[in-house]
Structure 1
């Protein structure tokens, strides 16, 4: 007999899940992985993948902030 799953939990998990696909050179990948392993020592509950995603998100936010600042300066 097939086991029924709790559909409410599955829906919530799918809503909170985020998929990110990026292309990295080998050098970029190994840099991110080393940095993630260092940070994982501080927070052992975090996965390497989630740490890498957070590093990429943080870098993207900083890049966007710099880009907006430069655009504002160019228009001034």
Structure 2
């Protein structure tokens, strides 16, 4: 289905595993996955981001072996 884009488009980073979608799509599967640990406000993105954290604790205990298996998507 065709789409009309009325707003500016901003590409922050382009790499081998990037995905850009315009219009309708049936399924988008990830080609790679990763895990990151960050404290309060550590994952904020945007042009004008403000985060005020007085105390921040991050739980990094992860007893399972496989979190996101996407070997079939490549």
Give the TM-score range, shorter chain.
under 0.3
The structure carrying a bigger helix percent of its residues is 1
Q: Which protein has greater RCO, CA pairs closer than 8 Å, 6+ apart?
A: 2
Instruction: State which structure, 1 or 2, has the greater radius of gyration over its C-alpha atoms.
Output: 1
